[in-house]
Structure 1
């Protein structure tokens, strides 16, 4: 049993510095051929222990580490985190959550925290952009705890204020956090490491904490046997001059050219053979873009590699890879179990699509939390068939495809113009759910408004003084809507039950209105009424509702003034017929 390097994922809100941090870590070894150089893998960057020791020399003292280094997954963000699954959890052994110390927690930060909790992945927080804190004087590549001592009291106070604002927000989310050098028990507190990804300040502290925590708490998980390889497919893609390839992160065992492997697909696991194992050459060795890989006879975990195989039909990102010898049935059963997606479906619901198995599960998880039923789920881009299929769903609010990190194929865009379907695309799960929920609320509001437009609702008006514009044929008077609403063609009655006439039109200034609501003062033309006979100034008039429509009003959510007006109308009507409207 040997100890492999822990696999590290970097998460956080857009523009908070995930990519800048990875770029800085990748670029810290300037001399390509120095001992302990940083090497580039497919989809990952290997930082060996010698390099960590060199960068952290001022902080190490007599401490010694046994983990061989760190393997950073290059694709930053929660998306890659959910895509890269292993052993039923996340591929990452530990994660860095990057937060802009000046902006604090943002929507994607909260989404990242939710994902980390769900996968039970330990993480530390890099509080980035300390170089933008008021008064802070930057010391490139210097450990934070050394740099802080050189800062003015004002700068230290400004940083402390921002840091503890983040601590407070994390406490609201149910997490206890503290600056890493002030923590006594790392199992009870999340470590905060102030850094500047742009110039490397605080990065030594970050690497030291990562390696220290990995060695102290994860060593058992990092033991790897020299057995058949286990890995996760990062991406399936065409490579010029090579054809279809798969990028894989190996997290256990060893892989050799010629090995038999099983790969996860949308259907049954695929059996194939490794034709070539490719690893990127250092940048200064690339002479020709077609010759940017070194061919390896074998590779040991943990590593990121590109594989050429005899067959890759149907293979999907996020699926497992297993090498096998005499245990084919056992491996096939294991892969089938790991690629089986446990998503609850309903007879009525939306369709969801994502680019990988893990992303699909993440979207389904958030849909369930938001009470959005799912009728069908698939990986891959949105097709014409998807658009046609959801257009046949019965509920208009379910004629929807939610697409997480996918695109619409051209024929799907064409189909959308002729089919009653709706597509939502977003690279952020929370954003996707939020977009759909806002649309649902708007559709419900529009449907309610349309239903209301066909129903006579309670309404009460008062004829205003000094606002008689015409006495008859039709009478035109100024009124104030006291409760509910009034519309064209509605009949009006007086408080004693007398019929007054029918509303012919509603105006405000030069504008013709379809309806007037409570609080509005408008001019009303009333057919069949004469001022001084059927109605007069200060009269209170009610919308006359047919008895057959009274029961329909129970289906609507009447507001308080509409309910009061309806009660008053019932009282007026029941003077002549005690059972009216019952």
Structure 2
């Protein structure tokens, strides 16, 4: 079919049409684009069909209705369809209305924002114009004043007015060629108007493609710059009022980090670094400077510097004396001391009616135990059970320093022993009263009188010997005399009138410390004054912490502990040393600062003690270390007190030739780091009441590091002694076995000088050592090269027989010389 037929060409939408579409881009840019559009396909219904109404028509027709649909059902469906269409129309109308209202709200807010910005710009422009006008008037007034001063100082001869004066006197309109003030103002207003227009365009946020391609306008100011300009104008309008700088008192120690100095001055760290660079110090904010430099910086910034010492951080700990009216009675702290196996723990066991001895390895006490006991009369007593073994001398010393009364336990069948004497010395040094408990009086060989007599040698006079020291005969096994002992303790406590202030920050002493699996570092603390509460922040030695929990001697959790109450404290950041003092602080920062200072001081002290100050000392130390053999060990124990006691015992093992060196000791399980240290040093790892964890065991197995476990200190010390004895050089002993006299000397080819000898005493052996004596002076010591009897080589020649001898690498032998024959024997040595 062709166009000549009068019909349209074939196609879905007919011929294409052209049109324009406006594209929108970011930042408000738009662009018009020519596009081609096609007509929509129009579907012409067949005759007899009427669009949507035709559906209703044929639905009403029973012949075109689906099967099984009645007239009533069909009517109901038609009504439902009409209702749904009506609802759709209402929803569409409602949505259109809501959209129109939202658009109106957006348009209204946009207009309000634009109006506010326009008012702000006009106000800023007015302020700027006012300021410029004032500046212009001020400049004009100054010019008039200068002209008047110049006219006053000029000579009185009349002269023709100058061109400048004429120009100044003439009206503005009379000199159109010169820039008059009115013309200058107009040019300034034009510039401001142009800048304002650019600012308005910048605020509009719309950049067309033509503007971007044409490059007109150049670089424009950013929104941030506009905001800064508005802020400056606002401050200028309000009188440019700024907050007055505050000057502070800055506390500076001997050294301080630059960032910390800036923080204390509340200045920017960059400004402080800049100030230091001006002084010629190229430092960063993380470097430390001395107090003199810090003081100069502080004065430059206008602050006041206050010099403080590093030790001043401990001044926050309260040391004031308690008032008499604040003191309340407190339980006495009783320490049980005595020789090992004299029944100290068994005596306390009988008093507490608990079995404590069974919990100690080997039946000896290796920790300091703290317990509270209430007597039948209602008196509360705090007991400290200290070990009696010689290795725990320092632990007993700490027990005596925190105690009020010492109970000296002496076995009636054993009398006074070395550790008993040490306990007496500790009690006297602490200046505390003593009560003598003569234990084991039920044994057949008991002799209490001998105990009292032996104590006289150490200036301990008991009441039975007309002295002032109470003595009580007791039996921990049968319980005899325990009531008398408690009465004696209560009487002594009443005489002492022990008082403390519970209403203050707590202070106490660490009796024992350990690293517990699952609970972390745990310290047994005996509160001496104040009340320790859960949640208190404290510092103890080089550690600090916050009381997470308090556990009494019965294993119960308590909220607080008053004076003379022993508790286990949880919440430390590390394991303290036994004997450290616990002090409660106000803030966590104070506690951390004090702990850091103490740790640094202890580290410096250790470094100073181990360093040689002069070259001679360094050489002497190197020579001494070279001559002494060392047995290195790595030690881990369950509690701090045991670790310290073992270290002290190991330091006593050895002599001038060999010694034991503890590379590292600590509290807790044996870890991989301990195994690594032991491998690097070739040392064994000693575990006292602790075990190695699984990674440490695997590492030790792979690296061949020996791990030894002990639970009794006797066995540990004996094994270390035996191992150290192996480093001792064997003792060489000489046994003289014979003498021979040289009768003749011979020169033998291939052998050298040979001596014809007569064995005068003992026996001559070929493997023995020999010395050549000439006029009873030793001129040679060596070994025999050959020993012959006639022409045969023999092993030995007895006394009275002749033989031939030749020395190894020595031929200066003469007739009449005496040969001394001896044998060497190596004897292994052991440490005492």
TM range (shorter): 0.5 to 0.7
2-side partners of 1:540 and 1:119: how far apart?
79
Tell me which residue corresponds to 1:20: 346
Instruction: Please tell me whether residue 305 in structure 1 is matched to residue 305 in structure 2.
Output: no
Tell me which residue corresponds to 2:141: none
1:376–1:443 distance in 2 versus 1, CA, 3 Å: closer
1-side partners of 2:377 and 2:692: how far apart?
48
1:235–1:360 distance in 2 versus 1, CA, 3 Å: closer
Q: Map 1:96-495 onto structure 2 (within 5 A).
A: 96-105=407-416, 109=420, 123-133=434-444, 159-160=447-448, 162-163=450-451, 166-167=454-455, 171=457, 175-186=458-469, 192-216=471-495, 223-231=500-508, 232=510, 234-236=512-514, 247-264=524-541, 268-272=542-546, 274-279=547-552, 293=556, 296-307=558-569, 309=571, 312-316=572-576, 318=578, 320-325=581-586, 329=590, 333=594, 337=598, 340=602, 350-351=632-633, 353=635, 354-366=637-649, 374=661, 376-380=663-667, 381-383=669-671, 385-386=673-674, 389-390=677-678, 392-393=680-681, 399=683, 411=696, 415=700, 425=710, 427-428=712-713, 436-437=720-721, 439-444=723-728, 447-448=729-730, 459-461=736-738, 489-490=767-768
* Structure 1 gap segments, 5+ residues each: 29-41, 55-67, 135-157, 282-291, 464-478, 505-524, 549-568, 575-582
**SS state at 1:440 partner:** helix
How far residue 72 of structure 1 moved from its aligned partner, in angstroms, is 1.0
2-side partners of 1:178 and 1:162: how far apart?
13
1:573–1:352 distance in 2 versus 1, CA, 3 Å: same
Tell me if structure 2 keeps the 8 A contact 1:236–1:246.
Answer: yes
2-side partners of 1:530 and 1:80: how far apart?
63
2-side partners of 1:116 and 1:432: how far apart?
29
Tell me if structure 2 keeps the 8 A contact 1:9–1:73.
Answer: yes
Tell me if structure 2 keeps the 8 A contact 1:126–1:192.
Answer: yes
**SS state at 2:414 partner:** coil
2-side partners of 1:374 and 1:118: how far apart?
31
More helix by share: 2
Tell me if structure 2 keeps the 8 A contact 1:11–1:95.
Answer: yes
How far residue 18 of structure 1 moved from its aligned partner, in angstroms, is 2.2
1-side partners of 2:718 and 2:337: how far apart?
21
Query: Aligned-residue CA RMSD in angstroms?
Result: 5.6
Deviations 1:301-339 (A, max 9, x none): 211234554xx4433463543322269637853796599
Deviations 1:209-248 (A, max 9, x none): 43444555x657x5445211123264556699x8986554
Tell me if structure 1 keeps the 8 A contact 2:543–2:576.
Answer: no
2-side partners of 1:83 and 1:116: how far apart?
13
Partner of residue 70 from structure 1, selected from 381, 399, 402: 381
From the CA coordinates, give the structure whose radius of gyration is larger. 2
How far residue 545 of structure 1 moved from its aligned partner, in angstroms, is 7.1
Tell me if structure 2 keeps the 8 A contact 1:95–1:123.
Answer: yes
2-side partners of 1:124 and 1:570: how far apart?
80
2-side partners of 1:375 and 1:362: how far apart?
12
Tell me if structure 2 keeps the 8 A contact 1:493–1:541.
Answer: no
With normalisation by structure 2, the TM-score equals 0.40
2-side partners of 1:115 and 1:392: how far apart?
41
How far residue 193 of structure 1 moved from its aligned partner, in angstroms, is 3.4
2-side partners of 1:120 and 1:542: how far apart?
80
How far residue 207 of structure 1 moved from its aligned partner, in angstroms, is 2.7
Tell me which residue corresponds to 2:177: none
How far residue 299 of structure 1 moved from its aligned partner, in angstroms, is 2.8
Tell me if structure 2 keeps the 8 A contact 1:345–1:374.
Answer: no
Aligned residues: 421
2-side partners of 1:275 and 1:120: how far apart?
35
**SS state at 1:200 partner:** coil
Deviations 1:398-437 (A, max 9, x none): x566766655667469738965879695744x87556544
Tell me which residue corresponds to 1:5: 331
1:412–1:540 distance in 2 versus 1, CA, 3 Å: farther
**SS state at 1:461 partner:** strand
1:133–1:179 distance in 2 versus 1, CA, 3 Å: farther
With normalisation by structure 1, the TM-score equals 0.54
How far residue 103 of structure 1 moved from its aligned partner, in angstroms, is 2.9
How far residue 23 of structure 1 moved from its aligned partner, in angstroms, is 1.8
Deviations 1:264-301 (A, max 9, x none): 5xxx52332x34444477xxxxxxxxxx73x5443312
Tell me if structure 2 keeps the 8 A contact 1:501–1:527.
Answer: no
2-side partners of 1:113 and 1:412: how far apart?
44
Tell me if structure 1 keeps the 8 A contact 2:773–2:818.
Answer: yes
Tell me if structure 1 keeps the 8 A contact 2:369–2:384.
Answer: yes
2-side partners of 1:527 and 1:336: how far apart?
86
1:80–1:7 distance in 2 versus 1, CA, 3 Å: farther
**SS state at 1:177 partner:** coil
